[in-house]
Amino acid sequence: GAGVSQTPSNKVTEKGKYVELRCDPISGHTALYWYRQSLGQGPEFLIYFQGTGAADDSGLPNDRFFAVRPEGSVSTLKIQRTERGDSAVYLCASSPSGDSTDTQYFGPGTRLTVL
Amino acid sequence: GDSVTQMEGPVTLSEEAFLTINCTYTATGYPSLFWYVQYPGEGLQLLLKATKADDKGSNKGFEATYRKETTSFHLEKGSVQVSDSAVYFCALNEFTGGGNKLTFGTGTQLKVEL
């Protein structure tokens, strides 16, 4: 079946601009996660959704970052007033439920470059 | 907070050599443990997992045993192939206070040569 998809695959923007990154999870998965991966590092947690609600947003670095999942399926990560330090690969993952034993299935990522 | 420590890479081996990638963790409770792999040009995918102490996860000839007494989850393979060249990430998930997230190590790059 279809895996997790993310669009766009690459995004280049200028400092100060607004960007939106989209994630389409595996159909039927109630849990959705966003991570950020910098070069040479492991992914770092940003936010976790259970259904439509953000159950844990403790990883969002500041109030320029915001994410929504209005219908419990597709999610959008929004970054305002982008900074060069926001450049990274943004990964989305989904899992069947919110159980910590679940496998999280990752999308291919969106590579964000802030000039 | 939770953390994962992996051996630094790159690790370079000849084909058919034995592989060990060390992973230790810090957690307050009883996390689930995972190894993810990232092949060149591809996304992260699960290699194996173990959800309780003394469980052994295995897949594609790779194995790892959840050792609570040493807080470790070392990855092993008896005979590596060139196609195993990738970056390997150890991770844990400890469901606490409503949070549910993977905490990753920094990754270990494996290069297998003929």
**Per-residue pLDDT tens for A69-78?**
999 999 999 9
**What's the mean pLDDT in A52-60?**
93
Please tell me if residue A71 touches chain B, with a CB cutoff of 8 Å.
Answer: no
B93-107: pLDDT as tens digits: 987 665 679 999 999
Give dist(CA A13, CA B48) in Å, integer: 37
Question: Closest Cα of chain B to A52: distance in Å?
Answer: 15
Please list every residue in chain A whose beta carbon sits closer than 8 Å to the beta carbon of residue B94.
100
A27 part of contact set with chain B, CB < 8 Å: no
A91 touches chain B (CB under 8 A): yes
What proportion of chain A, given as a percentage, has pLDDT over 90?
91
- Give the model's pLDDT for residue B97: 60
pLDDT of B98 = 59
* Long-range CB contacts for residues B104-107, cutoff 8 Å, separation at least 24: B104/A42, B104/A43, B104/A44, B104/B4, B104/B36, B105/A42, B105/B4, B105/B5, B105/B6, B105/B23, B106/A40, B106/A41, B106/A42, B106/B6, B106/B8, B107/A40, B107/A41, B107/A42, B107/B6, B107/B9, B107/B38
